[in-house]
């Protein structure tokens, strides 16, 4: 019945645990795929081209924007991030659920272009907790951390534009709630073609048994 897939957007402050929570649900939702973003930022240790991000130069990125190859794009902490259109549309038409981790400006563009997308906001348990998480992540400089913190504080105000929120006080609980939201959204009446559905369901009505 579920011919078409849909898009799930996960946002939230840097340090909220978006990647960890996303990674925890892949094994239990077989048709879930990760939308790989394009970025101009430098790879962090362990990040792989085409799996974590498509790493591009600012010049390459602006050519993709000009050609309309990105559904959304935004600048964040001095770097550009964008979502390749072809991949998302292709996966959804194949019935896949595409999940992506983007910030609030990008999510607002998605909401306009794909109103049927599911927008989820992930939060750390508190502001103090967020500070501690970012400070203990030793891979960024103090300035980057300070900038991310201020940005995160502003981002919380964008939560009103999202469909769902999840408080990441425990990885397993947060992952379970994301899984629950995605599974519930699979039952949305607005995602099925009602005429086809009715024809299938009523198949036996003319029987005289």
Contact stretch for a second copy (CB under 8 A) within 4-12, 76-84, 138-146, 154-162: 154-162
Contact stretch for a second copy (CB under 8 A) within 49-57, 86-94, 138-146, 181-189: 181-189
Task: Assess 163 for contact with a second copy (CB under 8 A).
Answer: yes
Closest CA to 106 of 79, 87, 133: 79
Give start and end residues of each alpha helix (H) in 94-168.
Answer: 104-113, 127-136, 142-155
Candidates 1, 62, 102, 143: give the one binding a second copy (CB under 8 A).
1
| Distance in angstroms (rounded) separating the CA atoms of residues 136 and 201 | 55
What residues have CB less than 8 Å from 143, skipping those under 6 apart? none
CB of 199 to a second copy, least distance (A): 11
Contact stretch for a second copy (CB under 8 A) within 25-33, 86-94, 105-113, 151-159: 151-159
What residues have CB less than 8 Å from 165, skipping those under 6 apart? 120, 121, 122, 123, 159
| Distance in angstroms (rounded) separating the CA atoms of residues 14 and 149 | 8
- Residue reference for tokens 């973003």: 37
CB of 100 to a second copy, least distance (A): 18
Task: Assess 172 for contact with a second copy (CB under 8 A).
Answer: no
Which residues of this protein are in contact with a second copy, per CB under 8 A?
Answer: 1, 121, 123, 126-128, 131, 153, 156-157, 159-160, 162-167, 177, 180-181, 183-185, 187-189, 192, 194, 197-198, 201-205, 207, 209
């Amino acid at each position: 019945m579920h011919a078409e897939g849909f898009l799930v957007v996960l946002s939230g402050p840097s340090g909220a645990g978006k990647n960890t929570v996303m990674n925890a649900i892949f094994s239990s939702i077989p048709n879930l795929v990760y939308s790989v973003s394009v970025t101009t930022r430098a790879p962090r240790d362990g990040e792989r081209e085409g799996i974590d991000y498509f790493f591009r130069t600012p010049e390459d990125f602006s050519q993709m924007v000009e050609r309309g190859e990105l559904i959304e794009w935004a600048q964040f902490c001095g770097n550009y991030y964008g979502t390749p259109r072809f991949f998302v549309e292709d996966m959804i038409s194949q019935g896949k659920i595409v999940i992506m981790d983007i910030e609030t400006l990008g999510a607002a563009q998605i909401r306009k272009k794909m109103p049927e997308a599911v927008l989820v906001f992930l939060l750390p348990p508190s502001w103090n907790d967020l500070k501690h998480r970012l400070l203990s992540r030793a891979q960024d400089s103090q300035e980057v951390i300070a900038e991310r913190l201020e940005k995160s504080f502003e981002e919380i105000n964008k939560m009103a534009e999202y469909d769902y929120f999840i408080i990441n006080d425990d990885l397993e609980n947060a992952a379970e709630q994301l899984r629950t939201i995605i599974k519930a959204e699979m039952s949305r009446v607005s995602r099925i073609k009602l005429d086809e559905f009715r024809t299938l369901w009523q198949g036996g009505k003319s029987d005289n048994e």
